[in-house]
Structure 1
Amino acid sequence: MTNKQIQKLKAPKFIQQIESTLKPLEFLDRCAKNYGDIFFTNSFGDLETLVVSHPQDIQELFNPVNKILDAPGTANEIFKPHLGENSIMMQDGERHQKQRRLVMPPFHGEQMLSYGRQICEITQQVMQHLKPGETFIARDLCEEITMTIILKVVFGIEQQARFQKLENLMTTWLSLTSSPLGATILLLPFLQKDLGAWSPWGKYRRLRQQIDEQLMAEILERRQKVQLNSRDVLSLLIQAGYDDGESMTNLELRDNLLTLLNAGHETTATSIAWALYWIYQQPEIYQKVLHELQGLDTPDPLKITQLPYLTAICQETLRIYPVSVFTFPRITLRSINLRGHHIASGTYVMPCIYLTHQREDLYPQPKKFQPERFINRKYSSYQFLPFGGGSRQCLGQVFALFEMKLILATILLNYQLKLEEVAPVAPTRRGFLISPQSGIKMSLERV
């Protein structure tokens, strides 16, 4: 059988990197149009990477029986300055699996009910600051909610002064890379030069150092006075132990707290902001989900999270503009054949979530927001993969969907909002993520 030729992008590497950084979705749409669902690109650092988006290829690659791929921490080097070398994302093999087994339990099980009540309460507290008739930015509002959830539910910080300081530091730090231009210092390593406190990378590093000091102080204090009935994630991680009885080091705890912040703050907030946009842009969707929510005899968090139409809205939100357009990179352990394409051993591979979610054969009219497609059909984990797949699948995905549904439900049941956007809102890069360009202007209606 003759092997099919895999095409490579013709543009120079530097141009690919700039285009994929500044206009990532337009770049990917053009790649798919010109090169199909499998192609090589040099848009990620110095590596030539194979991009795949056909579900059959993704299934073949992620099938654990095949053991085709390795997911080394070194493939995630681009995240090291942001998360630290002790982050679970930077670990390999057994150490990576050990950390996953330790970090995953707090985001499942009986404590979820307690988290659910806290999420609803925090959402109400933040929403009460809105003034009727005043325009606000939905993404900023959602980021305030999810930051508070991270600091209180995950980090367990109760002292107001410490909470305020850490919130201010983290908000300022994350804002440095919130624009497409600002994101270049994360995505283009050659720009990571510390030229003093006022240089972009210098300011970034100094803020990161202050955050590290605050987190380490919190960890050291919590180790001294951790209580067995504490249910926040940091307390549970401090109490937990590896199979050999050892617990996470302070540096591991610090870097994984930062990882949980980055994985669960802007990501979830962005998804909720998009969901609010789609819900209020299409009145029939708003009426349908509100009717479903009001049909509950009690706003119990667990019952809310099981509602089918609310779930479909969240799924369609994560499909149409997934906050992360790629899974984490992998390396082939041996040569393989993907639908007639020969892939050599040692090839870097990145399944593209966005392009898979935009396939006409899976999702007719893919640019149109249609929650019903998730009511009428069940998609496999190779067709719908907003949280990635394989051994690097997001370990907080259950918590993220849980949080997303509860925040939306709390807002929809208790407040009447109005979408203030006249033109369609376009997606744009925000750090490592894809976010609504305007942040989505809304207002609280006068009752």
Structure 2
Amino acid sequence: MHQAINPINSYSLLQQVRWVFDPVGYMQSAARQYPDIFTASIVGFGTSLIFVNDSQSIQQILTSDRKQFSAPGELNGILRPFVGNSSIFTIEGDRHKKRRQMVMPAFHGSRMQNYGQLIFDLTIKALDNLKASSSNGDFIVRSVMQNVSLQVILQTVFGLHEGARFSKLSSLLSEMTELFTSPLTSIALFFPALQKDLGSWSPWGKFVRLRNQIDEIIYTEIAERRANHNPEQTDILSMLLSSVDEEGKGMSDQELHDELMALLIAGHETTATAVTWALYWIYRSPEVKEKLLQELKSVSDSTDWMSIFRLPYLTAVCNESLRIHPVAMLTFPRMVEEPVEILGYPIDPKTIVIGCIYLLHQREDLYPNPHQFRPERFLERQFSPYEFMPFGGGVRRCVGEALAQFEMKIILATILSHYNLELSETKPVKPKRRGVTLAPAGGIKMSFA
């Protein structure tokens, strides 16, 4: 296997620092030398790993028999401080498969239509309040979208609407995610040695205290809902309390807690970023905005959320936003279990391989002029699940994908149909690290026209 980027040793400090502080630059410079596959020495995985951004090779890695490539949850340890040891992110094998089967029904079918009105109402409330208080000044789009998506996830996951517990949980979750808004503040996620509780004044100490308060609220909610379980309720917690595997076994309190944390953290952070990027490109591209407005007028019933969800140009705009700026840079890692070849290179057992979503989405052979925002490319051809994969792929593909896409489309349709906004950014906005994801630097400024 060719050693790429930096052949000095398996743990080059320069590589580690660059990966944390400038992941996009790191990936782009590597791909210029090694377009399809390269070895990286970056933190968070405990060893060197192989980045792959050739679509057929990614498919090989994510869909091959478990004897060739396994998906051990231990490799997702960077998420463990948030989601514990028992969430869908960190468990593996048959246990992971069973959990997916228990969780997936929450994101399909008639539930989506129920969520549509909620997403619409919360978007209108947030934008109306903002308009009333902003005096037509600039506002930070991502902050507003984070508030909306957090309220959506709290209400869809817990069925919580108002009250002290709802407000407290909302406040604590916001405060906790804001601890990791930049590469500098995210650094402790990549270096376990920095995860030391040195008191409430220390960054990790603050995180631990916030997490403990969130845990207390979630376990209290689980206990009360078990005691007064109503299977008719449509929120995700109620559904999970009713779910059993094929052996008739339900989830323990800890399993429920960890699953809820995974949904809460991953569910609102990523969607807020995706919607923010979409708004940036829509308002930066007048012809795109005009086409969207015309398409939205074709929906006769503005509360027919599934018709809005199925609009082809709106779908293409969302897909192009997720292509050009995928929130997740990488697939979940895989472990090579037996000697295998990828792109003609022999790969030894125990090697970690990972699909690079960001570089895949920037490939000129798949997406001509990849830095150009052109939704039409998704109307002109069909991309395979391993050519376009903003939600990952294989057995660890995002379980909340359907809700995320639905939420994204309803928020965009609501804003475009009800508000006249302007983009305040005069220069192109670049992505930067936010925790383990990529988000727009500065959050993107807009104003009411």
Give the TM-score range, shorter chain: over 0.9
CA shift, 1:436, in A, is 0.4
Q: Which residues of 2 match residues 93-104 of structure 1 at below 5 A?
A: 93-104=93-104
1:9 positional shift: 2.6
Letter matched to residue 279 of structure 2: L
Q: Could you tell me which residue of structure 2 aligns to residue 179 of structure 1?
A: 182
- 1:226 CA displacement: 2.2
Partner residue, 1:7: 4
Alignment-derived partner of residue 390 in structure 2: 386
- CA shift digits 1:312-353 (9 cap, x unpaired): 011001101100100011101211112211111221011100
One of 226, 232, 236 as aligned partner of 1:233 = 236
The one-letter code matched in structure 2 to 1:176 is: L
Counterpart amino acid of 2:128? Q
**By how many angstroms is 1:287 displaced?**
0.4
Moved more, 257-266 or 270-279: 257-266
Q: Secondary structure at the match of 1:44?
A: coil
1:142-157 matches, cutoff 5 A: 142-157=145-160
C-alpha contact (below 8 Å) 1:177/1:185 kept by paired residues? no
Q: Which runs of 5+ in 2 are unaligned?
A: none
Distance 1:27 1:179 in 2: 16
Task: Give the aligned partner of residue 33 of structure 2.
Answer: 34
8 Å contact from structure 1 (residues 119, 406) kept in 2? yes
Corresponding letter in the other structure for 1:387: F
Task: Quote how far apart the aligned CAs of 1:8 are.
Answer: 5.6
Q: 5+ unaligned residues in a row in structure 1: which ranges?
A: none
**Counterpart code for 1:223:** R
Amino acid at match of 2:375: P
What residue in structure 1 maps to residue 363 of structure 2?
359
Does 1:250 find its partner at 2:248? no
CA distance in 2 between counterparts of 1:189 and 1:90 reads: 17
Matches within 5 A, 1:16-415: 16-45=15-44, 46-64=46-64, 68-131=68-131, 133-299=136-302, 300-415=304-419
Provide the secondary structure at the position in 2 that maps to 1:43.
coil
Structure 1 residue 15, shift from structure 2 partner: 1.5
When structure 1 is superposed on structure 2, of 114-123 and 283-292 the one drifting more is 114-123
Aligned partners of 2:333 and 2:440: how far apart in 1? Answer: 25
Give yes or no for contact 2:19–2:26 (8 Å, CA) kept in 1: yes
Q: TM-score, normalised by structure 1?
A: 0.96
CA distance in 2 between partners of 1:414 and 1:174 (Å): 29
Check 1:444–1:67 CA distance in 2 against 1; reply closer, same or farther (3 A cut).
farther
Give the CA deviation at 1:408.
0.6
Displacement of 1:35 after TM fit? 2.7
After superposition, the C-alpha distances for 1:5-48 in whole angstroms (9 at most, x for unaligned) are 45363365222111011111011000111233211111133211
In 2, Cα distance between equivalents of 1:240 and 1:119: 25
Secondary structure of the corresponding residue to residue 50 of structure 1: strand
Distance 1:88 1:23 in 2: 29
Amino acid at match of 2:336: T
Q: Which one is further off, 8-17 or 194-203? A: 8-17
String of CA shifts for 1:195-241, please: whole Å, max 9, x gaps.
11111111111110110001111111111122122000111111111
**Percent identical across equivalent pairs?**
45
CA RMSD of aligned residues (A): 1.4
Cα distance in 1 for partners of 2:15, 2:158 equals 39
Which letter does structure 1 place at the counterpart of 2:415? Answer: I
Deviates more, 1:400-409 or 1:224-233: 224-233
Deviation at 1:66, TM superposition (A): 7.7
**What is the alpha-carbon distance in structure 1 between the residues aligned to residue 63 and residue 261 of structure 2?**
30
Q: TM-score, normalised by structure 2?
A: 0.96
Number of paired residues? 442
Distance 1:23 1:156 in 2: 39
CA separation of 1:65 and 1:199: change in aligned 2, threshold 3 A: closer
State how far apart, in whole Å, the 1-side matches of 2:319 and 2:72 are: 29
Q: Distance in 2 between matches of 1:94 and 1:442?
A: 47
Aligned with 1:181: secondary structure? Answer: helix
Cα pair 1:6 1:341 within 8 Å, conserved: no
Work out the CA distance in 2 between the residues paired with 1:13 and 1:168: 39
Partner AA of 2:308 in structure 1? I
